[in-house]
Structure 1
Amino acid sequence: MAEAYPWQDTLWQQLAGRSQHAHAYLLHGPAGIGKRALAERLMARLLCRSPAGLEACGQCKACLLLAAGTHPDNFILEPEEADKAIKVDQVRELVSFVVQTAQLGGRKVVLVEPVEAMNLNAANALLKSLEEPSGDTVLLLISHQPSRVLPTVKSRCVQQTCPLPGEAMSLAWLAHALPESSQDECRELLTLAAGSPLTAVRLREQGVREQRAQVVDGVKKLLKQQQAPSQLAESWSAVPLPLLFDWFCDWALLILRYQMTRDEAGLGLADMRKVVQYLADKAAPGRVLALQEWLLAQRQKVLAKANLNRVLLLEALLVQWASLPGQG
């Protein structure tokens, strides 16, 4: 059974307590806040033949089939490979499922994640099923980036924002999820995860704190002219490009913020505070703003899986970063 997260309690009572359900929901919010678990929990509740209050019973034939992954009235649509697109042929298979009669005589439930992974043709192929699903069918669409979802898809769904928990609740949950980690480590992971607790757990499993320490050390050596951009670009081969661009975008933003406010409380994590402050004092704001715009543009290409030369891209980033001090 899908895990129930405490920050979803109110939303769960609203969703599971409905006497009638919409034919399609768009559950959206940042990655790492448990949207998939919420959708799977609701899916189980909708398919259960003997629900116990707001929860699926876990014992009926439907619940046992769902747990075994063999429920005939359940369809899950996701990319065939991680970070790839959902293809139009996959959506056509979903459409064929939707028009069939429920084999167990109850509801049919479809789960799609992430809906923004559908290309234009795939999304258009889904529209009729979203607008007029046959029989008692409920479609649960999950989006981590709702701005990338077609308006024609959004308009056919009940759009439901999923809550990002506050820091106190996230830290309390992380203390149980990561009992071997200190509160300071949990707080740092949560900051790196932009407040998403499940992402914080994943980052720890991936060794992201160690990767960041390597990058921060490299940036400091770069500014002291102890290491060349080409050497650093090669040495960061194990660090995911999206992470690198997230960090550099964040650091550029912190520099600009400090230049405008001189607020030392807004210098970010301790590992880069002195560097951010130094660059804010030494770099011309126009130069930092130009670098920030470049970083955001390249980050979009990285997230879109553009065919980029990783080493050359990082060298270009580091050359610009090294040139920040002394620009007026």
Structure 2
Amino acid sequence: MTEVYPWQQALWQQLAGRSRHAHAYLLHGPAGIGKRALAERLVARLLCQRPAGLEACGQCKSCRLLHAGSHPDHFRLEPEEADKAIRVDQVRELVDFVVRTAQLGGRKVVLLEPAEAMNPNAANALLKSLEEPSGESVLLLISHQPSRLLPTIRSRCVQQACPLPGTADSLAWLRGSLPEQADEVLAELLVLAGGSPLAALRLYGEGVREQRAQVVEGVKQLLKQQAGVSQLVEAWNGVPLALLFDWFCDWSQLILRYQLTADERGLGLADMARVVRYLAEKSAQPRVLAMQDWLLAQRQKVLAKANLNRALLLEALLVQWASLPGPG
């Protein structure tokens, strides 16, 4: 049985309690808040032959087939490789599935994640199924970044924002998942994950705290001229580009915030607070703004899986970062 997260209860009652369902739902929200678990729970409820209230019974033929991963009326569509696009021929298989008759006589249910991974041809191929519903079929699209979807896809789905849990709920859940970790560590993980508890747990498992400590130390050495650009590019080879650009974008924003407010509470996590303050005091604001614009543009390319030269990109990043302090 899929885990039930406490912050989803109200939304679950709303979705599962419907007497009639839309042809397509777009479940969206930040990564790491349990959208996939919610969708899989809804898949089971929609396919169940003898639902028990709001839940799938878990015992009927449909539930047993779903649990075994062999349900003929369930289609799951994901990238064939991590961080790759969903291709048009994959979506064509989905379209063929939707127009077929349900083999168990009930609904056909599609789960597609992440929806923004579809390349343009794939997204256009999906539109036909969204525009011309076929029989008792329900498409569940999951998106972490709905703004990257075609407007025509968004407009043909019932858009459902999934709730982001509050800090107290997130920390309580993390304590149950990582009981050996101190509250300070859990709070830091939650900040690094943008408030998403499942993402925080994943970051812990991937050793992101250790990676961040390595990057922070490297930034300090760079500013003190104790380490060179090429040396750091090589040392950070195991740190994902998306994480690096998330952190540098965040630090540039904190620098600007401190320049505008001088608020000591707005310096971010303790590991970089002194560096942020130093750069805010020593850097010309136009230079910081230009740096932030460049960071955001490159981060968008990273998130879009553009074919980038990692070494050259990081070298450009570090050269600009090292040149921040000084006259404008």
Give the match for residue 194 of structure 2. Answer: 194
Amino acid at match of 1:250: D
The answer to whether the aligner puts 1:100 opposite 2:124 as a matched pair is: no
Post-superposition CA distance 1:39-78 (Å, at most 9, x none): 0000000000111111101111100000000000000111
Give the match for residue 219 of structure 2. Answer: 219
**1:131: Cα distance to partner?**
2.3
Amino acid at match of 2:232: L
CA contact (8 A) 1:287 1:327 kept: no
SS of structure 1 residue aligned to 2:138: strand
Give the match for residue 233 of structure 2. Answer: 233
Amino acid at match of 1:210: E
Query: In the aligned structure 1, how far is the partner of 2:89 from the partner of 2:31?
Result: 26
After the TM superposition, which parts of structure 1 deviate over 6 Å for at least 4 consecutive aligned residues? none
Post-superposition CA distance 1:146-166 (Å, at most 9, x none): 001111111111000001111
For structure 2, the 5+ residue unaligned runs are: none
Give the match for residue 5 of structure 1. Answer: 5
Amino acid at match of 2:258: Y
Query: In the aligned structure 1, how far is the partner of 2:8 from the partner of 2:184?
Result: 25
SS of structure 2 residue aligned to 1:290: helix
Query: In the aligned structure 1, how far is the partner of 2:134 from the partner of 2:249?
Result: 46
Please show how residues 116-265 of structure 1 align to structure 2 within 5 Å.
116-265=116-265
Query: In the aligned structure 2, how far is the partner of 1:173 from the partner of 1:77?
Result: 29
CA contact (8 A) 1:28 1:143 kept: yes
**1:8: Cα distance to partner?**
0.5
Give the match for residue 26 of structure 2. Answer: 26
Query: In the aligned structure 1, how far is the partner of 2:119 from the partner of 2:301?
Result: 16
Aligned residues: 328
Query: In the aligned structure 2, how far is the partner of 1:103 from the partner of 1:325?
Result: 67
Post-superposition CA distance 1:153-203 (Å, at most 9, x none): 111110000011111110011000111111110100000000111100000
The answer to whether the aligner puts 1:274 opposite 2:271 as a matched pair is: no
For structure 1, the 5+ residue unaligned runs are: none
CA contact (8 A) 1:2 1:40 kept: yes
Query: In the aligned structure 2, how far is the partner of 1:190 from the partner of 1:210?
Result: 15
Amino acid at match of 1:183: D
Give the match for residue 327 of structure 1. Answer: 327
| Percent identical | 78
The answer to whether the aligner puts 1:36 opposite 2:36 as a matched pair is: yes
Please provide the CA RMSD for this pair: 0.9
Query: In the aligned structure 2, how far is the partner of 1:315 from the partner of 1:106?
Result: 56
Amino acid at match of 1:32: G
Structure 1 length normalisation: TM-score? 0.98
SS of structure 2 residue aligned to 1:111: strand
Query: In the aligned structure 1, how far is the partner of 2:132 from the partner of 2:247?
Result: 44
Query: In the aligned structure 2, how far is the partner of 1:95 from the partner of 1:291?
Result: 44
**1:16: Cα distance to partner?**
0.3
SS of structure 1 residue aligned to 2:164: coil
Give the match for residue 72 of structure 1. Answer: 72
Query: In the aligned structure 1, how far is the partner of 2:20 from the partner of 2:305?
Result: 40
SS of structure 2 residue aligned to 1:138: strand
